[in-house]
Structure 1
Amino acid sequence: MGEQGLSNLERRYRRLLRVLPKWYRRDREEEMVGLFLADRTDELDLEHGWPGWGETAAMFGLAVRTHLAAGAAFTNVPAKVVWRGEIVRALGMIGLLLGVFFAGAAITQLAVAYGNPAWAPEISWWRLLEIGPIVAFAALLGGRRTLAKVSALAPVLLAVASLGEYRYVLLWSAFQVPSLVTFVCLCLGFHREAPTPPARRLLWWGGGAVLLGVLGGFASGLGLIVVGLVTVAMRVVAFVRGDFVLGRALSLFAVLQLAPLAFLLVGGEALVLALPIVVLLVFSALAPVRKPRLS
């Protein structure tokens, strides 16, 4: 439909609808515009009116759900859209497992500091926020998505809290980049139409991440190296199995690990181990992913 003969309000509604994917607008745009304009018949409103804040918010929420579609919530969804949503959800879950690993390491460090008066002044109470990913993981598997998203954001607040301790700002900020990306992926990917992750299978991964973190808390940097090795190994498995979603998510996850490992290289910690892991992660990020056939 051309722009000629349309009211300014209708033009604005049609512009707002452009946040939706073409495949969704193709069958629903005219119906949606008609519903928006049904009760707005005043000539002055048609000339100078704008879409309401509630309508705009609802439209952006619908845009997220349609661009990252899941399950049978929508019909005639292109395969690439379904894959995109699955990749975002997979990246969110992988990042959350990394957060669970960091939480395990934090538990060790807090326990050691609590039992050692010489270390206690170095531990601030707000470091308890580092345990947030464990709460987020359990909440997400239990279907409590709002609690999961709020809890996943908790570690990111460490970078803000560290502003009072300038020595740690850059370090903690680099380590919280994966947490921030995880929070964004959880918010975008686990919308109301998205399925709840399979708890039985993921509980084993979550328990392993906590255990690995607890052990890694005793050896600074070693846990990150193990996580890097696991990422590379799983990336190879995903390629061999032809798992496009897991492979793409792991490629992105490999990039997120480079910043924390860079600090190990700059600081000279575990240099002999960290450098090969960085190289392998770069290769994992750049390596091709077997693309499934488009339907």
Structure 2
Amino acid sequence: MTTLLETRYRAVLRLLPAYYRREREEEMVEIYLWDVDRDTQDQSRPTLGEVASIAALALRSRLGTAGVPRPYERLGSAVRLFALFAVLLQAAWAVADRSLSLTWASTHGPAQWNMFLSEFTTRGLPAAVVAGAEWILPLLWTAGYFALLHDRRRLARAAVLLAALPTLWPLVGPLMSEAVPPEPLYATATALFAWLPALALCAGHHRDAPPAALPAGAPGLVFTACCVVMGGSVVLLPIAADAVWAPATCFAVGALGWLLWRSRRTDRSTACGGVALAVLGLLILAVRVAAVYPWLDVSMTDGYLGGVLGQTGVLAVLVAALAVVGGRDLTTR
């Protein structure tokens, strides 16, 4: 006769995918029940630790690796590639943006340098701490990127979660201080752009996942190339360079390069790359639109407006192309 505790365990185990339950459910139920007195099973419940363990196992088994059903293998591969590409983009922009800021402040006279320092020194200690954290913590995207590619997964998870923290301050800061509330759409999109990759890295690169690897190129060379593209896009067209311009430009160049590289390959070993890039591109497109939308009713220079609209159009076309190519690759594997 089935006890209430067994029924509860089986209900929790339904978090697991069907293929895993078929293979392991009976064994797991037996293990959970073996040291529980049958007379007390109707008054017992699965512990929070057991539920959390099963939930983590459900996530790992759905973001599977080789040997699991193909849909789960594809989903896991796409999530891991999305996390890797997004962390690379965040890491390169954190370094490029701060390099450009320091270069500008240190080469344009004392006034510019004092203006740069005033962000950390003139608004009191709490504001200085927040400003310092917002400037320093995003550099941990770089640590997370290289840690991930060197299979230091715990370090990578900790680094990206800390790096994403500053994106929450515009949302919670006005509730805790006299900070000016941000534009809600842009603040939300920026937070999603940071936290979705961070959570995807934590979920996708679990202990059973294969080591992370770029589809092509050495990690340091690819990172340097992204930094150069971002910095160059700001230097060459400063009139259009807002907070989204450089990472969006780098994504466009990288996505176009991936499409060209993919067209020369006959195998489909990177089929999930198109889907991962399409999702990342859609996220960047959302940030791009959110950044410019509040200013549409304000007079803008032709150069800025033309650059933003052109970039938005390019991103939309690339996202559509990546989705088509990625979907075709997945269905023909």
TM-score, shorter chain, exceeding 0.5: yes
2:157 to 118, 138, 149: 149
> Cα distance, 1:232 vs. partner?
4.3
Contact 1:104–1:209 (8 Å) recurs in 2: no
- Structure 2: tracts of 5 or more residues without a match: 107-112, 121-130
Amino acid across the alignment from 1:271: L
1:202 deviates by 2.8
Residue 18 of structure 1: how far off its partner (Å): 0.7
Q: Give yes or no for contact 1:238–1:244 (8 Å, CA) kept in 2.
A: no
**1:52 partner amino acid:** T
1:54 equivalent in alignment to 2:49? yes
CA-CA distance at 1:48 after TM superposition: 1.8
User: Aligned pair 1:108/2:99, yes or no?
Assistant: yes
1:12 lines up with 2:3 in the alignment: no
CA distance 1:238–1:188, change in 2 (3 Å): farther
Paired residues of 1:105 and 1:215 also in contact (CA < 8 A): no
Q: Sort the Cα spacing of 1:237 and 1:14 in 2 relative to 1 into closer, same or farther, 3 A.
A: farther
Alignment correspondent of 2:193: 178
* 1:51-100 deviation per Cα after TM superposition (whole angstroms, max 9, x unaligned): 122221221121111101124xxx4x111211110000000001001111
1:237 Cα deviation from its structure 2 partner: 3.6
Candidates 187, 191, 203, aligned match of 1:188:
203
Quick check: 1:271 aligned with 2:305?
yes
SS of alignment partner, residue 119 of structure 1: helix
Shift of 1:272: 1.2
Please give the residue correspondences for 1:187-266 in structure 2 after superposition, counting only pairs within 5 Å: 187-198=202-213, 201-216=218-233, 219=238, 220-221=241-242, 222-234=245-257, 236-237=259-260, 240=263, 241=265, 243-262=270-289, 263-264=291-292, 266=294
Task: Please give the per-residue CA displacement for 1:202-253, whole angstroms capped at 9, x wherever unaligned.
Answer: 3322222233344456543341342242254146347745543011111101
Partners in 2 of 1:62 and 1:47 — Cα distance?
A: 26
Q: Aligned in 2, Cα 1:178/1:234: closer, same or farther, shift over 3 Å?
A: farther
2:118 is equivalent to residue 118 of structure 1: no
The one-character-per-residue Cα deviations of 1:3-59 (angstroms, maximum 9, x if unpaired) are xx3211001100111111101111211111111111112412x10211122221221
Q: Shift in Å at residue 113 of structure 1?
A: 6.9
Q: Deviations over 1:93-124 (max 9, x none)?
A: 01001111221233225414763112322352
Letter in 1 for 2:115: A
* Counterpart Cα distance in 2 of 1:122 and 1:133: 22
Structure 1: state its 5+ residue gaps. Answer: none
1:78 aligns to what?
69
The residue number in structure 2 matching 1:99 is 90
- Contact 2:248–2:284 (CA<8 Å) still a contact in 1? no
Shift of 1:265: 5.7
Question: Normalised by the size of structure 1, how large is the TM-score?
Answer: 0.85
> Are residue 134 (structure 1) and residue 106 (structure 2) matched?
no
Paired residue for 1:158? Answer: 166
User: Which range moves more in the overlay, 210-219 or 7-16?
Assistant: 210-219
Closer, same or farther in 2 for the Cα pair 1:169/1:153, shift >3 Å?
A: farther
Mapped contact 2:256–2:318 kept (Cα < 8 A)? no
- Shift of the 65–239 alpha-carbon distance from structure 1 to 2, 3 Å rule, reads same
Offset of residue 130 of structure 1: 1.7
CA positional deviation for 1:254: 1.0
In 2 relative to 1, CA 265–272 (structure 1 residues): closer, same or farther, beyond 3 Å? Answer: farther
Change (3 A) 1:139 1:225: closer
CA contact (8 A) 1:239 1:290 kept: no
